[in-house]
A and B are shown apart, each in its own frame.
Chain A
Amino acid sequence: SQTIHQWPATLVQPVGSPLSLECTVEGTSNPNLYWYRQAAGRGLQLLFYSVGIGQISSEVPQNLSASRPQDRQFILSSKKLLLSDSGFYLCAWSVHRDNEQFFGPGTRLTVL
Chain B
Amino acid sequence: DAKTTQPPSMDCAEGRAANLPCNHSTISGNEYVYWYRQIHSQGPQYIIHGLKNNETNEMASLIITEDRKSSTLILPHATLRDTAVYYCIVRVATGANNLFFGTGTRLTVIP
Contact = CB atoms under 8 A, between A and B. Distances in A.
The dominant DSSP class at the A interface is strand
Contacts of A94: 97
A103 interface: yes
The dominant DSSP class at the B interface is loop
A43 B97 contact: no
B43 A42 contact: no
B44 interface: yes
A34 to B, nearest CB: 7
Contact of B97 (A38, A51, A108): A51
Q: Which of A34, A98, A104 has the most CB of B within 10 A?
A: A98
Interface stretch (B16-24, B70-78, B101-109): B101-109
Interface of B: 2, 34, 41-46, 49, 87, 93-104
Interface of A: 32, 34, 36, 38, 41-46, 49, 51, 57, 59, 88, 90, 92, 94, 97-98, 100-106, 108
